[in-house]
Amino acid sequence: MQQVDSTSKYIKQHNISFDQVKRAVSSNLPCFFISFHPTNEDQKVPSAFKAADHVFEYLKQQNVQINKFSFVGWAGAKLKLGVDGKEDYIKLVSTEKWPTSIMNIPITIEKPKFIPDCFALVIRYVPRGMDYEFVKEEISRSIVSVVNLKRIQYSYNRKTDDYRFHVKDLQEYNRALNMRRISIGNVIVPITQFLEGNKLTYCTHCWRLGHIRNKCSAPTARCRICLQEITDIQRHNCSQQPKCAQCDGNHHSLSSQCESIKAYKMQLKEEVDNALARGVIHRSEPNKQVPIFDSDDFPSLSNFNRNKVAAWGSKQVPTHQPTTECTEIAGVLTALNKQLLIMTETNT
């Protein structure tokens, strides 16, 4: 009863906006950040669009072919660049051919430090007796760029295990997804795409739900763990005692054990389901599998009933049409029989 009361209380206090609903089903790829380091006061940082065009043209000259940046903006003093396609994202992450300056102003590039879940796969129904290191080695034999292998924990007992992992190479990712199976020891197990859950909207400044960092009204940032105010990150001494920004409990602010988090997830799921049903938003669906074979590779048989075997009890006795040769043989045999009868009667 206490859990239900706290859940309903939290829902009444927090109304989920449409922006939070859209963010819940978004599948945006992580962005890239560029920091400018002017060497003198006369150097002025260019506009976001001009700087983005400079980066795009420079990469093009270095044979790094990508589409135009889908997002260009500022995050504080840093230029923020984003792309939509997985191919473009992988190219930008893997290349070292980024420019070192823009309009003679030295720059530094910050690449995403994690692999997004859109590059995650799941292998299912692995026998429980298999060791983790053995499973990891077997997967690596087929998919070289596998990282972050984790056993999925379920709240109920299962006879098999599921493993989630990321694939850094896009070609290997697509190849594994198209094959749909992988060998673990002497067992063939299926591979499926990892389906992301609804994304939570939370602030990395105060660690509360319902807004993001650039919309936060808190004057001072707080520690992610102990929630103490941080005026100087170098002097901050965390107590390592978790405290929740939602309910002041002794757990992390985004812990799945928090009743406020549970209530928010429940309300968010309801809002997302309603929006999807009305067609207001659309969840991104996994790419359809491309068939390996073409329909022309296996043409239909024109006379497939020629060698058809009849079912039991319906077999018919074959009938043969007499030929001229058979008729002549039958006539000769009849004449011989008559001659034998005459000879027999004469002897008697």
pLDDT tens-digit series, residues 282-295: 765 444 444 444 55
From 193, 209, 232, the end of a domain falls on 193
As given in the structure block, the two tokens for residue 306 are: 């020629």
**Does a structural domain hold residue 16?**
yes
The CATH number linked to 187 is 3.30.70.330
Question: Is residue 343 in some structural domain?
Answer: no
Within-domain flag for 295: no
Among 176, 193, 210, residue at a domain's last position:
193
User: What is the residue-averaged pLDDT of the chain?
Assistant: 83
Claim to verify: residue 51 and residue 85 sit in the same structural domain? yes
For the segment 198-212, the average pLDDT, to the nearest whole number, is 91
Residue 137 has pLDDT above 70, yes or no: yes
**In this predicted structure, what is the pLDDT of residue 291?**
44
Is residue 323 one of the residues assigned to a domain?
Answer: no
pLDDT classification of 321: cutoffs 50, 70, 90: low
CA distance 155 to 19: 32
Which three-class secondary structure string do you get for 153-201? CCCCCCCEEEEEEEECCHHHHHHHHHHCEEEECCEEEEEEECCCCCCCC
Domain boundary among 282, 311, 335: 282
Which residues touch 99 (CB under 8 Å, ≥6 apart)? 54, 55, 58, 59, 107
Residue 317 domain-assigned (yes or no) = no
Write out the residue range of the structural domain in which residue 5 sits: 1-27+198-282
As given in the structure block, the two tokens for residue 62 are 């270095």
- How many domains is the chain built from? 3
21 and 33 belong to one structural domain: no
- Percent of the chain beyond pLDDT 90? 50
Q: Is residue 328 part of a domain?
A: no
4 and 77, same domain (yes or no): no
Say if pTM beats, i.e. exceeds, 0.85: no
Q: Is the pLDDT of residue 249 over 80?
A: yes
